[in-house]
Amino acid sequence: MPTFITVYLYVPISALQNGQDGRAREVDLGAFYFKSHGTKLVKSHKHDWLILVLLAAIEIGLNIIHPFHRFVGKDMMTDLKYPMKDNTVPVWSVPIYAVLLPIVVFTFFYFRRRDVHDLHHAILGLLFSVLITGVITDAIKDAVGRPRPDFFWRCFPDGIDNYDKWGNVICHGDDKDIREGHKSFPSGHTSWSFAGLGFLALYLSAKIKVFDRRGHIAKLCILFLPLLMASLVAVSRVDDYWHHWQDVFAGGILGLVVATMCYLQFFPAPYHSEGWGPYAYFRALEETNSRSTVGHPADGVHMQAVEIPDLHQQSRRNGSHTFRQVSLSDSLHDVEAGKM
């Protein structure tokens, strides 16, 4: 008589609910919702969020203290007599396009893939990127105290210059303008722009698989849009005579380097085969699969028993069938070889 093998198959419940074909959508197989996993995820990174608050406090403090007042002689004023102009890109707009705009994009991908790990880590990485960049930028600003290209008119708004016996300027302009006039290097607008939009460019390049070796140049155009936007902000700082070209160059490099480092803390490189998801997402999948393998199905998984005849063995019991139970963790080779 033939021997039967009982095999337990683990089938996602979503597959049983998707009609007679029993096929589950990809988004359902790896969905981690904010409602079910968000609170636990935020609590597991509570120290990271506390450090963000600390960085924000340091950033505020760096903007309150006075920068170093570098020696500015009369012969140096040749390059510092550019006219004072308003900002083409206002200060209040920087957090909007460098922080809020990327978060809107992250949220869009969350509603598409339903992965709270991706949303949480993208926001956390972005905030670290802009705040670390801001702290480094303003710390260097205060320490260097390089005068802006329009420093002469900040120091002498009436055009009448005055110097002490050492040849250093004796300013009689508005204190706020003078203090701001010593914060030229590096450019804060530029560093913040490349920190936020550079992070967004890395995120998009991974999500749309720019480096999938299929040669779709159109994807590169999407990747370059945030970088082009940040570059135009940098150019406007030179056009407005608020910065020297060295200021914006250093700010751009600083922002891109910090953005890359913060991105790689949470996500694989964009050219990686698994670059489309954060490290935490794949760890969560491994944990879910491991629980299923050891016989403890994860939420949303259904166990179904299937009897398979074993044609390689004959029952030693007369007049009866023999049944054995195996799990999916058993070797397929053993099953095929008739060892079970």
User: In this structure, how many other beta carbons lie within 10 angstroms of the beta carbon of residue 176?
Assistant: 9
Cis peptide upstream of residue 268 (ω within 30 degrees of 0): no
Among candidate residues 117, 121, 182, 243, the one labeled active-site is: 243
Q: Is residue 98 a contact partner of residue 196, using CB atoms and an 8 Å limit?
A: yes
Q: Which DSSP state fits 321?
A: -
Q: Is there a catalytic annotation at residue 302?
A: no
What the block records as the tokens of 93 is: 């707009």
Across 213-240, b (16+ Cβ under 10 Å) vs e yields eeeeeebeeebeebbebbbebbebbbeb
Which pairing describes strands 322-326 and 301-314: parallel, antiparallel, or unpaired? Answer: unpaired
Among candidate residues 189, 312, 321, 333, the one labeled active-site is: 189
- Torsion sign across C-alpha atoms 9, 12, 14, 15: negative
Which residues are CB-neighbours of 340 under 8 A, at least 6 positions away?
Answer: 5, 310, 324, 326, 330, 334
Q: Is there a catalytic annotation at residue 272?
A: no
What the block records as the tokens of 277 is: 């998801």
Return the active site residues: 189, 243
